[in-house]
Amino acid sequence: MGIGIIVVDMINDFVTGELGISRAKDIIPNIKKLLDFARTKGISIIYACDSHSRDDAEVKLWGPHAIAGSKGAEIVEELKPREGDVLVKKNRYSPFFGTDLDRLMRDLGITELVLVGVSTDICILHTAADAFYRGYEIFVPSDCVEAFTREDHERALEYMKRVYGAKVMSSDELIKSLGG
Ligand code: ZN
């Protein structure tokens, strides 16, 4: 199937740690439900996670987070990858920057990307921009992404709809549209 789900930055530092988004815990069960469904359908799952050195531009701006090899850079326990999932380490907001992600998606025949994780207005938004530039269809289940505030979250969803043509719906609606 030509669909891939990109799980963005669901790592300890963004959920409970250094740059923890308290609202991120609420989306874990929704993401888990979507991934469990995807696995029954053979839909590709890609984890895109921050992995920084101490002199990365993002660390200078935000302070130390997701330092490569640290506990904070590990995917949260509830969403641990399974065999066959793809892992992409990134050091900017977008996992397309300086990585093999685009080629990987094309090799897998993926033309539609579902974006989940944090945060709606930063890494998800920049991933959507890069996906749009490269011609992918974008889906964002609104209960599988979060931001520091509700306003940041909602503004980013509206922006992605308007500017990148992202299709925004609930995870249940998405699962139904995929034959669940
Ligand atoms: Zn970062």
Q: For residues 140 and 21, is the Cβ–Cβ distance under 8 A? A: no
Catalytic residue among 50, 90, 144, 152: 90
Residue 176 CA to ligand 1 centre (angstroms): 33
Q: Which domains does the chain have, with CATH numbers?
A: 2-177 (3.40.50.850)
| DSSP one-letter string for 71-125 | GGGSBPGGG---TT-EEEEESSSSTTTTSSHHHHHHHTT--EEEEEEE-IIIIIH
Mean pLDDT score of the chain, rounded to an integer? 96
Q: Annotated catalytic residue: which of 123, 130, 143, 144? A: 123
Residue 60 CA to ligand 1 center (angstroms) comes to: 10
What is the identity of the amino acid at 122?
I
> Cα(first)–Cα(last) distance of the chain, in Å?
14
Q: What is the pLDDT of residues 120-162, one digit of tens each?
A: 999 999 999 999 999 999 999 999 999 999 999 999 999 999 9
CB environment 11-50: b (16+ within 10 A), e (fewer): bbbbbebebbbebbeebbebbebbbebbeeeebbbbbbbb
Expressed in angstroms and rounded, the spacing between residue 50 Cα and the centre of ligand 1 is: 5
Q: pLDDT grade, residue 1 (50/70/90)?
A: low
- Distance (angstroms) between ligand 1 centre and the Cα of 53 equals 10
pLDDT above 90 (res 20): no
Respond yes or no: is residue 13 known to be catalytic: no
Distance 66 CA to ligand 1 centre (A): 6
Over residues 23-50, the mean pLDDT reads 97
Q: Looking at residues 11-40, what average pLDDT do you find?
A: 94
* Position 178 pLDDT exceeds 60: yes
Among 18-22, 73-77, 139-143, 170-174, the range scoring the smallest mean pLDDT is 18-22
Check if 144 is active-site: no
**Average pLDDT estimate for 32-56:** 96
CA 174 / ligand 1 centre spacing (Å): 28
> What confidence tier does 19 reach under pLDDT thresholds 50, 70, 90?
confident
Catalytic residue status for 90: yes
* pLDDT tens, position by position, 57-75: 999 999 999 999 999 999 9
